[in-house]
Amino acid sequence: MALADITPARPKGATGLLLLADGTALWGHGFGAIGASVGEVCFNTAMTGYQEVMTDPSYAAQIVTFTFPHIGNVGTNHEDIEAKVESALGCVVREAVTPDSNFRSKQKFDEWMRANGKIGLSGIDTRALTRFIRLNGAPNAAIAHAPNGEFDLPALLERVRGWAGLEGMDLALRVSREKHEGWDGGPWTLGKGYGRAPWIRKPHVVAIDYGAKDNIFRNLVKAGARVTVVPAKTPLDDILALEPDGVFLSNGPGDPAATGEYAVPTIRALLDRDIPIFGICLGHQMLALAAGAKTAKMHQGHRGANHPVQRVGGGWDATEGLVEITSMNHGFAVDGTTLPEGVVETHRSLFDGTNCGISITGKKAFGVQYHPEASPGPQDSFYLFDKFVGMLG
């Protein structure tokens, strides 16, 4: 399937485009920031949470295609930002941005995109683009917006073809915080915003930030932990000096094998000391690599809020067979066929059978590929935070 076969020629008045590495140009109407960015094009099937998606560091160096056609009606606000670091480059949508009509909105989505340097493109056949990605894999592309409709296509194409792609790329250092800090933010409640957790002696979790979403830390606090967040490349001795009762490995962008070059030795040393560990998304992949498994780039990735995951795991949970509806965002996965002896698969995707969870026999260490802190409707996976903090007693 070639997009050029179903995509019309440049329409009159086009002010934006998505230029793929094969030279295909998808024309539409630009919004948000003016300029051009190059990254990998993916798609997300969620119907809600577009601001959270656009501020998730796991989307660094990616252009998000929203399959839901009406984006913008919730608007944006200051509370639903997942992290204030590099995240999605821009987004592609079907219809023009919908006016905001939510009582929590503080700024329209297109205005927010412009203020945050993110490029938007509307008027695209997102169904055709999504089918293309599913059949051919996630392409590299440039997303561009010029109000006068003038683009230097040869120069843009050269940029796209010169971009190395996500495979082999360590992005965690680009999105990780630069120094360690105590985290005291609590869960959000309507009319009150985010609460504050009292800084008292509780089980102490040191969270390694590979590009973390803030809501993960809020859920650790809600489960009863005291949290200190440290940069991705924090030395082992510095982590041990904080006297952690447990260590959390966060989500993040990029190729896990590249990040693992400096992360895996630290995690192995923590495992040798029998310190409890919980990993989410990239953190799950880091734990798997430390245990001796391998990761691989996926054909199209998993990104959405309706992914069914089944608990399959070897006595890890009495509710084996139960299915969770989960939120996912990853383009790499743990290769389940490479799990060594002593590493048990605990969760598996019902979409394609890929690994979605592991635990390590004889250790208080486990990880999941999906995002239990995300709650776009399903809250099936919040139990994992209670499980981890319960290990630290």
Residues involved in catalysis: 281, 371, 373
175 residue type, one letter: V
Pick the closest to residue 43 from 138, 157, 173, 148 (CA basis).
Answer: 138
- Read off φ and ψ for residue 37, nearest 5 degrees: -135, 150
Give the chain's length: 393
**Dihedrals φ, ψ of 203, to 5°?**
-55, 130
Beta bridge partners of 252: none
DSSP SS3 for 267: helix
| Rounded distance between C-alpha atoms, residue 288 and residue 279, angstroms | 9
In this structure, is the dihedral angle defined by the CA atoms of residues 115, 305, 176 and 215, taken in order, positive or negative?
positive
Kindly provide the residue ranges of all beta strands, DSSP E only, lying in the chain, ordered along the sequence: 16-20, 25-32, 35-44, 62-66, 90-92, 119-122, 140-145, 181-183, 185-189, 193-196, 204-209, 226-231, 246-249, 277-280, 295-311, 323-334, 343-349, 355-360, 365-368
Return the closest-CA partner of residue 206 out of 227, 183, 184, 222. 227
Is the Cβ–Cβ distance between 252 and 212 less than 8 Å? yes
Name 323's Cβ contacts closer than 8 Å, sequence gap at least 6: 308, 309, 310, 311, 350
Residue 85, SS3? Answer: coil
Q: How far is the C-alpha of 356 from the C-alpha of 54, rounded, in Å?
A: 23
Instruction: Of 149, 117, 132, 94, give the one whose Cα is nearest residue 37.
Output: 117
Distance CA 143, CA 119 (A): 7
